[in-house]
Amino acid sequence: MSAQDKQWIEVSMSVDGEAAEAVAEVLSRYGYQGVAIEQEGIMPEMYDDGAPPPAERLTLRAYIPMNAQAEDTKARLEAALGHMSLMYPMPSPTYKLVAESDWSEAWKAHYHPVRIGKRLFIRPRWVEVELQPDDIELALDPGMAFGTGTHPTTQLCLEALEELLPPGAQVLDLGTGSGILAIAAAKLGAAHVVALDNDEVAVDVAQENVEISGVADKIVVGHGSLESLITSARRFDLIVVNIIARIIIMMCDGGLGQTVRPGGLAIFSGVTTEQVDDVEAALIQTGLTPYKRRQQGDWVCIEARREA
């Protein structure tokens, strides 16, 4: 079966903000490449000049490959959600069969231009807009990789990158997804960026976005993990990790702090207000010192440094 003919089961759930993180964590166990989170009832014109306001409800989407294991995966997902519903009311997931060739088309209905920070402007590649003289454009097509820049976790990372990135820095984007943070770092003045993901589809998507963005001379996209970095003893002036709290804590146990040079900086996102204390405790154990939190709704971005 060709990539264009490949089919996926789209799992979608509409939840309130209180349940979103817990449901997203469950969906991430069974879905491919992560979970897409969309704010309901927030129109693009409402946030052309800044970050979108917190939404009362969120739509979460995950994708399961349509293969011999699909029914078993759905059964395990529903069992996990059933356990959660004993503690908090949960809607039933909705399933829809989609072709891979239609997947990115479906995204286009939910993906709009948005300004972040002072100069960053995210534009879907299929939308033409007039830029301001000082705009730094991030033109993307997420494909089958998550990371459009419309979710608070990514927006918080972009705001932090714009403020913190030293000129000529060596940067690591760990869990690059669509490559949006790596591209932003390159356009904000990084000398070199290593963008890693442990999923081959994300690597391909990120590489394409990097090339189209004209920053392939600054960014090396690769299939890799924290373990490969620790083995190489590579150190960076700044690292950015936009994943989920559970994985960040696991990485801290694996020596994540060693990837930051003495005196270097680190940005962590994908963390909720309930998780931030646990994540910061793990960062301290791995040799980093958290010193600032950025927050949008229930989401928190942690800035940390490694002491010189």
Which pLDDT band, with edges at 50, 70 and 90, does 46 fall under? Answer: very low
pLDDT for res 178? 83
Which range of residues forms the domain containing residue 89? 7-105
H-type alpha helices, 165-217: 180-187, 200-212
- Same-domain pairing of 170 and 264: yes
- Same-domain pairing of 95 and 164: no
Per-residue pLDDT, averaged over 229-253, amounts to 91
Per-residue pLDDT, averaged over 109-121, amounts to 80
Determine the residue type at 103: W
Per-residue pLDDT, averaged over 106-126, amounts to 77
- Looking at 77, 105, 133, the residue that finishes a domain is 105
**Does a structural domain hold residue 175?**
yes
User: How far apart (Å, rounded) are the C-alpha atoms in residues 307 and 264?
Assistant: 8
Which pLDDT band, with edges at 50, 70 and 90, does 130 fall under? Answer: confident
**Does a structural domain hold residue 23?**
yes
The reported pTM is 0.72
pLDDT for res 104? 58
- Same-domain pairing of 155 and 64: no
In sequence order, the β-bridge partners of residue 264 are none
- Same-domain pairing of 204 and 91: no
Per-residue pLDDT, averaged over 36-58, amounts to 56
pLDDT for res 105? 65
Which pLDDT band, with edges at 50, 70 and 90, does 253 fall under? Answer: very high
Which pLDDT band, with edges at 50, 70 and 90, does 235 fall under? Answer: very high
**Does a structural domain hold residue 43?**
yes
- Looking at 105, 135, 154, the residue that finishes a domain is 105
pLDDT for res 239? 97
Check pLDDT > 60 for residue 189: yes
Q: What is the CATH number of the domain that holds 63?
A: 3.30.70.120
Which pLDDT band, with edges at 50, 70 and 90, does 139 fall under? Answer: confident
Provide the strand spans (E) within the chain. 7-16, 36-39, 57-65, 94-99, 114-116, 120-124, 136-140, 170-174, 192-197, 219-223, 236-242, 260-272, 289-296, 299-305
Which pLDDT band, with edges at 50, 70 and 90, does 1 fall under? Answer: very low
Check pLDDT > 70 for residue 263: yes
pLDDT for res 280? 97
